[in-house]
Chain A
């Protein structure tokens, strides 16, 4: 990065931005390669190195620009890359494809058909990103920089108009104007409860005290949700800009970003972003010469789910054990070090510059009356196109799962979708046409949470799902209050019994009364919402519980004591693969003749079931 002297005034920032834009050659060929966790797992960094060294070898390094970008959300098909100005989008790129990509596409601008996306229905090759159904229905506002800018280059962000919202706030708006704009936009917290952000900011501004804090929650503990990781890795400056604006509005001079320890790239990129913003004078003393001071520190979490809860997070920031506090005193009045603190999720912060730049009225046009704007969901599980999608609030589940997500894998039938992480609930297939917004989700017994959307098919056992979440929460309960600590333990025992075939008819009523008690008596939201997965599965899938308890059958083939594998003789071609791989020698049969499974020897490890190409191994 060229060293830039401190930017001392808003007009200097604008001059710098203009210079960056003018330097750009719109006809220059650029290849943008996603380099965040998902695509890195597929070898994206090797691809970048190979492309760079090959270009250098051919003397093309100045003619073709290689950019390492954030996530486009299409993780299922990673590593992905986009080539401009031709607008060519490649999927599942491997290092061995690099020579051809360079000789054909980067030198001549010709697309390689093999690497284009194939529509699973029509089998047609699609060249442009926007024409792929996965992207077509999305409205990418918060994600607009993901996949375009290099998150480690502040100039990329500035060239796209970054820090323009900050300039506007510092030069033309009073703190109360900012709060009113956020209130008018209808922005609600993206991390869980959906509390109106503007109201939170106002309470914090009005709370007595000279020292106040802003905090970004990047703890993203909900299993199945990874949009915050993607934002922190792919567009860290938008989070910083949102936080600086928030700090100005509430009157804070110090901020913290609390990031999960499991996200090393997010920590790295946020660190680089803070350093760069600091050297530009966008953080620190006298920001843009306006006299406003603000600093941000990164604090890494240490692997405790409960630290996503606001008061537990604040305890953790203070260097203590992450146990929640009783909430009769609000954190906006007495939070971190007992001072007024505004805590928002990183996605919420990233929405702030948008609202300031384009206005509250523009923002509120998207979404529904009570849930404005867009929301990023991680659509994962048994869906075909897994990944991150940004959609307007109020879109239906069907559009997300079938139009964008491409439906269920292997053409199996859709059973349910789980939203809201361990505090959320399961929504059955019959509600597929419901709108997705804060209030509608609550009405059906689920919640928005941070936006995890886990799609389940006929092979998912709903009792097992409930047991999974309760097991998760049992280990993550901090143990401070009895209802949560003991309630979860008992619930887990009852659910385990049901899954092992020892369930009794009274168990369902017992689970329900235990749930009611935990909701009423738990200290924090972890315990108070913990029964949701149990209650929602009982509500919609009571028949599955009854099948486990009465018939002792798990028809999804998950609970090991309650099903058996057997081989369909009509489908088996005797390839012997399952026989060779079976660790217990439970598969019998000769080559090219139908095999059988010795039920007594079978440990139901699932190897034969996942290996069989003929789908001859079936669950009974």
Chain B
């Protein structure tokens, strides 16, 4: 692909090196991850060593250097979620999707991630799929949540209110 949209982002921040993290965040939104060619391109345009870009993108958790699935399943592992059984939910999701954290399903439909805390601790345990928050998740509810997105049960998608 061309880098027009990347250029747009770099221009918006005036190519300022101190805005590198913000630029990378915006660039990641384009494809849900940061492809290697894009990072090389950014390095050249900003005259920043590629090592520094990789230092940043591997230090901060919100960056992904691998392609991610259509739906990103984020299991919150905050303290309130942990106490209310988040790990049991995580394990059930691993079983349902047959992947582990940081991985993407073969059909590129789901990526599984864990987050430290999404700040909705009163609704614990919470799992976020895309931008939809599921509260009070239990291992028994996992299958239904996943089926909302897997395409196998299209009609189940509208049931969550």
Chains A and B bind each other:
yes
Instruction: Give chain A's interface residues, CB within 8 Å of chain B.
Output: 37-38, 40-43, 75-76, 78, 94-96, 220-226, 229, 260-264, 299-305, 316-322, 378, 380-382, 386-388, 418, 421, 452, 454, 456, 460, 465, 468-469, 472, 476, 478, 581, 583, 605-607, 610-611
Interface residues on B, range: 35 or more
Q: How far is the CA of A580 from the CA of B49 in the complex (A)?
A: 57
B117 touches A262 (CB 8 A): yes
B105 at the interface (CB under 8 A from A): no
Q: How far is the CA of A294 from the CA of B142 in the complex (A)?
A: 49
Whole-angstrom distance between the Cβ of B20 and the nearest chain A Cβ:
4
A454 touches B83 (CB 8 A): yes
B103 at the interface (CB under 8 A from A): no
Given A299-B21, A322-B59, A454-B79; 13 other pairs, CB 8 A cutoff: A40-B133, A95-B161, A223-B80, A224-B79, A225-B121, A226-B117, A263-B119, A319-B19, A382-B83, A460-B83, A468-B79, A476-B116, A606-B85
A37 touches B133 (CB 8 A): yes
A223 touches B79 (CB 8 A): yes
A43 touches B161 (CB 8 A): yes
B1 at the interface (CB under 8 A from A): no
Closest to B28 in A: A302
B56 at the interface (CB under 8 A from A): yes
- The residue among B25, B119, B138 with the most chain A CB atoms within 10 A of its own CB is B119
- B63 contact set on A, CB distance < 8 A: 302-303
B139 at the interface (CB under 8 A from A): yes
User: Which residue of A41, A605, A607 contacts B133 across the interface (Cβ within 8 Å)?
Assistant: A41
- A78 contact set on B, CB distance < 8 A: 122
Instruction: Give chain B's interface residues, CB within 8 Å of chain A.
Output: 16-22, 24-25, 55-56, 59-63, 77-85, 88, 91-92, 95, 115-124, 126, 131-135, 138-140, 161
Whole-angstrom distance between the Cβ of A579 and the nearest chain B Cβ:
13
Whole-angstrom distance between the Cβ of A14 and the nearest chain B Cβ:
37
Q: What would be 12 A-B contacts, judged by CB atoms less than 8 Å apart?
A: A42-B135, A75-B120, A220-B119, A223-B78, A224-B80, A225-B121, A319-B16, A319-B20, A418-B79, A469-B79, A472-B77, A583-B95
Q: How far is the CA of A454 from the CA of B83 in the complex (A)?
A: 9
- A304 contact set on B, CB distance < 8 A: 59-61
Closest to B55 in A: A321
- B84 contact set on A, CB distance < 8 A: 381-382
- A40 contact set on B, CB distance < 8 A: 133
A319-B19, A605-B91 as given contacts; A94 in contact with B161, CB under 8 Å: yes
User: Which residue of A221, A226, A260 contacts B120 across the interface (Cβ within 8 Å)?
Assistant: A226
User: Which residue of B18, B124, B140 contacts A318 across the interface (Cβ within 8 Å)?
Assistant: B18
Whole-angstrom distance between the Cβ of A162 and the nearest chain B Cβ:
25
A610 touches B83 (CB 8 A): no
A605 touches B56 (CB 8 A): no
A303 touches B83 (CB 8 A): no
B140 touches A581 (CB 8 A): yes
A229 touches B85 (CB 8 A): no
A95-B161, A387-B122 as given contacts; A302 in contact with B60, CB under 8 Å: yes
A302-B25, A302-B62, A319-B20 as given contacts; A472 in contact with B116, CB under 8 Å: yes
- B62 contact set on A, CB distance < 8 A: 261, 302-303
A610 touches B138 (CB 8 A): yes
- B135 contact set on A, CB distance < 8 A: 41-42
B92 touches A226 (CB 8 A): no
User: Which residue of A96, A302, A478 contacts B21 across the interface (Cβ within 8 Å)?
Assistant: A302
Q: How far is the CA of A38 from the CA of B123 in the complex (A)?
A: 7
A316 touches B21 (CB 8 A): yes
Q: How far is the CA of A452 from the CA of B131 in the complex (A)?
A: 24
User: Which residue of A94, A299, A302, A465 contacts B61 across the interface (Cβ within 8 Å)?
Assistant: A302
Q: How far is the CA of A338 from the CA of B81 in the complex (A)?
A: 39
Whole-angstrom distance between the Cβ of A51 and the nearest chain B Cβ:
16
A224-B78, A300-B25, A319-B21 as given contacts; A378 in contact with B121, CB under 8 Å: yes
Q: How far is the CA of A76 from the CA of B136 in the complex (A)?
A: 10
User: Which residue of B88, B124, B132, B134 contacts A380 across the interface (Cβ within 8 Å)?
Assistant: B124
